Structure formats: structure tokens, C-alpha cells
A and B are shown apart, each in its own frame.
Chain A
Amino acid sequence: MSEKTNTKPMGTVSVRELRERMANGDDAVFTELITSGGVTATAVFIDGMVSSETVYDFILRPIAAGRVLADARAGEAAVERIMDGRVFQGRKKLCLSVDETTMELLSGSVAVIFDDVGAAVAFEARGFEKRAVSEPTSENVLKGSKEAFVEALRVNTALVRRRVKTSDLKIRQISVGRRTNTQVAIVYIEGIANRDTVAKIVSRFQSADTDGLVTAGQIESIMYERRHTLFPQALYTERPDRFVGSVLEGRVGIIVDGLPVTYITPIDFHTLLQAPEDYAHHFVLSSLFRIMRYVCAAASLMLPAFYVAVTTYHQEMIPTKLAISMISSKQGAPFPTYMEVTLMLLAFEVLLEAGLRLPRAVGQTVSIVGALVVGQAAITANILSPGVVIVISVSGITGFAVPNQDLSNACRVFRLSLVALATFGGLFTTTLGLILILYDMCSIEIFGTPYLSPLAGSEGRGMLDDTLVRRAWTTKRERPRNIAPEDAIRHAREDTEE
């Protein structure tokens, strides 16, 4: 009885204040209960975010009907018993303020509030609906894992943990967003990832002052050092194996609750032209595919501008027979070449956009009708010259060979800009445009990693390790030097292996 009379507040948690804060929140459930020791408490949880079975069978029933708190006659004693482990539940936390309690509730916990001592014990009881792990939608591979990240942070971290069974794998969780309190997990391997880089990334998210973190664009704007360049400065992936591969290289992974894609940083430009399947094929094949991707990216970027430049300013560059053929195809066409190219590029963008917005089946029809029927009709009616249609088609198709959508999108913008430049000054202004693009790329640095390294800025080290070509796995002993890993050696020499 003495326990009851000498009650002293432990914190400032109060049911009344919590009710006020959750006012008009009809999914907040307040349930009053009396412990077996006679102490009055209130259980609070958000309906839909907790598992009913866990709440009732493993938390409320032991507290109210079990004997575990029979000897606790006051709130303080009850809290102490619970925290001592009388109520068996995986994770529990003592909350001493309303803010802290609210945070726990919104994260899927059940809070048992003891009003008399101003304290609450939060039990983790998450049980909200989530999508099951399924196949990747945009990064499918033939030889590789069929798992993709989902929207639930904890599922995603588990997918990573399952692949890296070491205590060195660190997952630092940060809450970002004044209102959304979105959980962001910074994933890295201690001893491999550069600690300064990790510190910078953690600090970047900790200092992010925003009310919410919901979209990928918001995350990128927090991570990116150069806000106004179109070049992507982080690699996104929905594949856990790719994520783990990058983390093992010494990069830092970022998983955000609510997003099925994860981010990897720091990266260089070459990372964006690598596909997940590169590491599943023989290194010679992978290297050939990579070279092809570089060629495709260059063709996609420059082909329309080059076409405009040579047909409008530098006709003597065209082989004679091709020139005759092009001249004949232009007979009767009403538009100048630069206008034909610009119109076709815009039409191509419209087709892409329409295909994305419409349901998949209808979208395909739009693409086929737009590309084949309208294109053929335009040529037959002599509105467009066939050469332009071929150039734009090749440019568009080669653009799809770029594995990273952000880079592909950047190329689309640059492509149109280069066409505009080619219209005004041919190859002279096109070259100026390309120099500006190169200048932009050269000036990007992602957490200390030069964007064009290791081809530039690394004094030649690792130039051909994993860039344009990929070396055989057994000969690639070192991790990428340009990201300055703590431990640069990946594996022992082949001849020293037992």
C-alpha cells in the first residue's frame, strides 16, 4: 500500500493530452484496463498498424488478466515490473513524454499509459498490411535473384541482412520529416565503407529540415550535392542483390520506408551504364555489352544533332551515294531538316508519355499506331523524309539501351538541346554544347568521388577494372579506389588461394 501513497511522477505522459493530440483521429483506439494488481492504465494503439493478435494475446491479456503484475500496486511498480521483463514482448520502450509516446504509436506500437506516474510503456506490435516480396519490374535478369524491395523498411533491411551475415553490416536509422517522420536506413559495412562518407550522408539526412519525405525526388534533393545538374548522382535499384553488391564495394545504401527503390551512393558515371546482369555473364560478354551501351548512349545523345548539322551545314561530309539518296528523299518534303527532327523528337516524347499514362495494353497500341502507322503515313504523304524517321527511331531505341532511367531522361533533354544548337551553327555549336555537357560532368563530385573517375581524376588507377569493360572477377582484387574504401582489397590473389 505504501507504494500507492508515495507515487511520484516519472514523466509527463497523460492520456488527456494524448487524446487531445489525437483528436479527430478516429483510428486511434484508447482502451482502459486495470492490471491484476489493481492499477488503472490505458492502452493506446492505431488501428490497422498493429497486429490484433499480438496486442490482445501477448500484451493486454498478461497485463490485465495474468498474474505477472499482481504484486504491483502502483503505476511506478507496474512500469518497473514490465520493464524488468514480466510481460514478454520482443521490443518495449519506456516513454516519458507525450511526443515520444506519439512517435511510438505512429510507428506501430501499443502504448500502455500509466497516468498516475506520467509514463507509458510502448510495445512493438506492428502488423500493418504490406506488399509481399515479388519480382523486380524494371531490373529483370535471367541469371539472378527474383526478389525485389518492397515498401516496408523492415522487410527491405531483412532482405539485405539475409545476404550479408556479418555484424559489420550497419543499419543506421534516421527519422526524416517533421510531420511524416519517415524512417531512413543508412546501410553500410563498417571497415569497408569510408567513414567520412557515411558521416556526411548521415549528417545530410539528419540536417534535412522538411515536413515530409514521401517521394523519390525529395530523397534525391536531400542526397544530391549539385542540385541543378540533370545527371543522376545516386544509383537507384529495386534489387537487393545489386544493393548488397554495391555495399560490399564500399558504397553506402539508403533505404527509405515507403519506397520500393533504394539508393546507392557515392557513384561515378560508369555505374549508371552498368546493368545488374553484367556480373552474371562472362566478363568478355559483359564488356562487349557495356561498350555497346556506351555507343548507344552516345548515339542517342548526338545522332539527331549530328544529322541536322551535316544535312544543313556540312553536306560534304556525307558519302556521295548517301547524299544522292538523302537529296531524293527530301524532294517535296515541306519542312526543313531541323524542323523535321525537332517535330519528330517531340512526337517521340509524346508517344512515350502517352504510353506511360495509359493502361499497359492500350499504351502498346498507342505506341504501335503512333510509330508505325502515323510514321509510315507521314513518309508516304511526303510530309517527312525517311532519313529523319530512321535517325529519330535509332536515337530513341539506342536511348532505351541505357540502363538507368534518370540518365536516359537527362540524355533526352540534352538531345533536344543539341539539336537546337546544331540548327544554329552546325557541328561548331554542337561541339560547344558537348563541351558544356562534359564540363558539367567534370565538375560533379559525389561525396568526394569525381563523377568521371576512374577515367579522370584517379591518375589512371582502375581505369579498366569495372568501367567500359569489366575484368574477370578473380583478377579484380581491389574495390573501386575512387570511392576511397577503408579496406581496398576485395579478395586474395587467385594463386594464393588454397
Chain B
Amino acid sequence: MTLKRTLPPIVVAAAMAIACGVTLRFFPHMSEIGDFEVVQVIGVDKKGDGVEVTLVADREEAPGGGKPGGTGMTGIMSFEAPTVFEAINEMNLYSDKRRHLGYVDFLLVGEDAARDDMAKYLDFFTRNHETRFSMVVFIVRGATAKQLIKETATANGRMTDALMSIDESAKMLSNSRMLRLIDVARMLGEPYAAAVVPTIIISDTDFAEIVGAETPGKALVPDGFAVLRGGRLAGYYDSRLARAYNILTDKAYTSPVSVRGENGEYTALELLQYDISFDTLWEAEDSTGIRYGVKLHASLMEQPGGENVFTDDGLQAIENGAAELIKRELEDAVAASQRLGCDAIEAGRRVRMKYPVRWEKIADRWGELFPRMDIRIEVTCVINRSYEMRERIGVQMAAAATGDAATPDNGGEGGIG
């Protein structure tokens, strides 16, 4: 490369560097990854006027000496301080490793802290450059975050794996969901709606009983949502109402329902799709009522009873049963939200999207209007398939034994449609 060619870019780069005031401090500080301790879960609790921060660090045993590494270990440490920042920094005194917050995947907020002021305890995490907005936030129902961590973290299991599995179970039951810090921050800043944050509880079931593990430890399980009014904990949606909340806010995945048919036998359905229609009743400039229409699409998953439900009346009975069950859940969720005096079902968002001009006139009064509204819900259900077969296995054999004629349409052809 001749000087004629190399000089211009060097001069330009040097000029830019000088113009930007680049000094040696501009370059990042070198730090070895081996000197870090990866914190994956942080618990925050109210402690007097200050906070108590609990850190959970997952480690793997180092390889070496001919042994492979990889055995999981969990380290827990708590510290009290006036602020979260100070507590975390103080904790570095007691460790030979630097605690890196860039890997924090879960933030657990104790019930007392949520009741005090949720935003106050989240401020550090939304401001800090190491932590990520993608971390998932849970409120610990009926306990402190420290308590939950101490009782559910085991010596040979990863707490993060248990927390991560909540997402999968929530997709099968629609009774919870993973909410990122950025979403919680957005909800806390929303003036017309309540913030609804997923909750976890310490299960009464001994974890050792569930998995046969020798190490004692309890399981953490999802338990619906916490409703925050004005940033403070106002109440809960339990697991049953959590599904209703997810349906009303278009966040439900699949979920099971068991309903009784014509003969009183249970039939299990899997709800796969929830089509929601929404409209608002207007009186002058005010919204006085809301009408939800919910259409459930289901699959027949199990039919323990032996009767033939694949008749018009039989199917109708099951569909009606499922619709009625879900309708009750939805009405209870709406009633609970109105009772708490805040829009926890994001009805305001729907009104704003459907009637943006009218919304502008009622937006400021939405908090007063919503609890007094006449909210009605209509639910219908349609069973679309029964998978590989219609009737339960063994029905034909039982019929033959009793001398009844064989039931037609059995076996192998499957399907409602």
C-alpha cells in the first residue's frame, strides 16, 4: 500500500478521533470472562425503608484433572441496603468473582414490595446498562422473593430451568405467561389500564415427592396474575381467572376443559382457538357497556364415558357445557376487574382501537366509567375434531357382550367434520 493511498484514511480516522474527543478511556475496559459469576435470578423484597436483594448464580463445576465439568450448582446470596444498587455492589465484597448482571433472566418481586410500589423496585433494572429489558418479571404471591428462592432452589438443580419451564406449562394451560421487564414498564406507565403481572407461588407439594429427588426442596409454580392499580398490588387473578384474562386479552394458547355430557359423564376438550368480537355501547358521548363475543374452537381429547356423544344433541350438550364454563370464568374475571376499580382486561385498549375519536373524549374518565359499565359476554363453542377415533375403545365389545347391535361409525375414521 503506498503512502498516497494509506495516508488519507489515517488522517480522516485521526481527525474523527480527535473531533470525538477520543482518549484512552474511550476504549472499553478489559475483563476476563473467567472472573465473572453469572447471576440469572434476582429477588427484590421490601425491608423496612430499604430493600433486600437476593441473587441466584448458577455455576458449573470446572473441568480439569481429567474430569469433565458440567455439574450444576446454585449459589444464593442476600444483602440489605437502602437501594438495590447499593445492595448489589455491597455483595461484591463477599465474593471473589464479579457479579455480571447482563445474564439476569428473571426478576422476582416479593409481595410486600409489589404492594409498596412496583416501579420503585424496578427503577434500577430499567436504568442499569448491564441488565436487559428482556428479563422476565414475576411477583411472588404470599411470600418474599428471598423466601421463594431459599425454599425452591436446590443444590443440584437450576432454578432458572424451573422458571423457564413456566412458559411451556403456561402454553398448555393458558394460566400464566412470561412478561418481560419492558412490558411491565410499559404497563406501569399506562394511565388507563391496570398492570397485570404473572405471579408464582411456593407449592405445598414437596419437590422431593414429585421427582424423587433426595435433596429437599419445594416446587415453584405459576399461579395466575397480580393486578396492580396505580403501580401497587391491588389483587390477584388466580389460575382459573388467569385463563379468562388471557382469553380476553388475546394471549391465551391452548387449555383444557372437562364438561359433563347428556348422561352426566365427563368429556375432556382442548380449547385451541379463541375468536373474539368486541363492541361498545354508546350513550351520548359516554361508553355505557361492552359486548364480548367469544367463539371457542375445541378438539375432543378424551371421553371416559362409554355413551355415544357423536349425535347432534350429544355434541351440542358438550359444546354448550364448555361455552357455559368459559363464560362463567370470563364474567368472573370482568367482575373482579370492576370490583378492583381498574381496567385489568385491557378493555380500554380495545375501545381506543375501535373508536379512536370517541376514545379521546372518554380517555380521561375511563377509570370512572369502567367499573360502572354493563359488560356482557356471549360464548359459543364448536368441536372440530376427535382425532383418530370417535367412540371410546372397548365400546363395541361391551355392546356385543350385551347383545346390542354394533354401533356404526366407529374406529379409525376419526373426526367430527
Binding site for B on A (CB under 8 A): 226, 228-229, 311-316, 318, 320, 323-333, 336-337, 379-382, 385-386, 423-426, 428-429, 432, 436, 439-440, 443
Contact = CB atoms under 8 A, between A and B. Distances in A.
Interface in B97-150: 100, 102-103, 105, 130, 132
B27 interface: yes
Contacts of A423: 30
B102 A316 contact: yes
B38 interface: yes
Contacts of A330: 32-34, 62
A454 to B, nearest CB: 23
B63 interface: yes
A324 B60 contact: yes
29 contacts: A226-B1, A229-B1, A312-B31, A313-B30, A315-B33, A316-B100, A316-B103, A316-B132, A318-B33, A320-B103, A323-B36, A323-B38, A324-B38, A324-B59, A324-B60, A325-B60, A327-B33, A327-B34, A327-B38, A328-B61, A328-B70, A330-B34, A333-B34, A336-B32, A337-B34, A379-B63, A382-B63, A385-B34, A425-B27
Nearest to B39: A320
B70 A380 contact: no
A223 to B, nearest CB: 17
B417 interface: no
Given A332-B64, A436-B9, A311 B32 contact: yes
A150 B32 CA distance: 54
Given A328-B70, A330-B32, A330-B34, A315 B102 contact: yes
Most buried by A among B33, B34, B103: B33
Contacts of B30: 312-313, 423
Contacts of B1: 226, 228-229, 440, 443
Contacts of A226: 1
Contacts of A327: 33-34, 36-38, 59-60
A336 to B, nearest CB: 6
A347 B130 CA distance: 36
Contact of B63 (A324, A329, A429): A329
Contacts of A428: 27-28
Contact of B64 (A337, A380, A424, A436): A380
Interface string B62-73: 111110011000
Contacts of B65: 380, 382
List the 5 closest A-B pairs by CB distance, nearest first: A330-B34, A316-B102, A331-B62, A328-B60, A382-B64
Contacts of B132: 316
Contacts of B70: 325, 328
Nearest to A310: B33
A311 B31 CA distance: 8
B186 interface: no
Contacts of B5: 443
A327 B66 CA distance: 18
Contacts of A324: 38, 58-60
A426 B26 CA distance: 12
B102 A331 contact: no
Given A320-B160, A337-B32, A380-B66, 14 more contacts: A229-B1, A311-B33, A315-B33, A326-B33, A328-B61, A328-B62, A328-B70, A331-B34, A333-B34, A382-B65, A386-B63, A424-B27, A428-B27, A443-B1
Interface string B38-74: 1010000000000000000011111111100110000
A323 B103 contact: yes
B402 interface: no
B246 to A, nearest CB: 27
A248 B27 CA distance: 52
Contact of A312 (B32, B37, B64): B32
A320 B40 contact: yes
Contacts of A331: 34, 62, 64, 69
A315 B28 contact: no
B33 A337 contact: yes
Contacts of A332: 62, 64
Nearest to B130: A316
B2 interface: yes
Nearest to B60: A328
A328 B69 contact: yes
Contacts of B38: 320, 323-324, 327
B59 A315 contact: no
Given A327-B33, A327-B38, A440-B1, A313 B28 contact: yes
Interface in B9-28: 9, 13, 27-28
B107 to A, nearest CB: 14
A439 B1 CA distance: 11
A429 B17 CA distance: 13
A320 B105 contact: yes
A228 B2 contact: yes
Contacts of A337: 32-34
Contacts of B58: 324
Contacts of B2: 228
A279 B63 CA distance: 48
A95 B398 CA distance: 117
Contacts of B29: 313
Contacts of B59: 324, 327-328
A465 to B, nearest CB: 29
B133 to A, nearest CB: 13
Contacts of B60: 324-325, 327-328
Contact of A439 (B9, B32, B100): B9
Nearest to A226: B1
A337 B32 CA distance: 7
B356 to A, nearest CB: 40
B216 to A, nearest CB: 25
A316 B103 CA distance: 7
A327 B28 CA distance: 20
A322 to B, nearest CB: 10
A228 to B, nearest CB: 5
A440 B6 CA distance: 9
Contacts of A320: 38, 40, 103, 105, 160
A381 B70 CA distance: 17
A311 B160 CA distance: 23
A419 to B, nearest CB: 14
Nearest to B103: A320
Nearest to A333: B34
A315 B100 contact: yes
Contacts of A333: 34
Contacts of A379: 63
A468 to B, nearest CB: 27
Nearest to A337: B32
Contacts of A432: 13
Most buried by A among B28, B29, B105: B28
A241 B160 CA distance: 60
A229 B2 CA distance: 9
Contacts of B36: 315, 323, 327
A341 to B, nearest CB: 12
A294 B343 CA distance: 55
A386 B70 CA distance: 13
A376 to B, nearest CB: 10
A329 B63 CA distance: 6
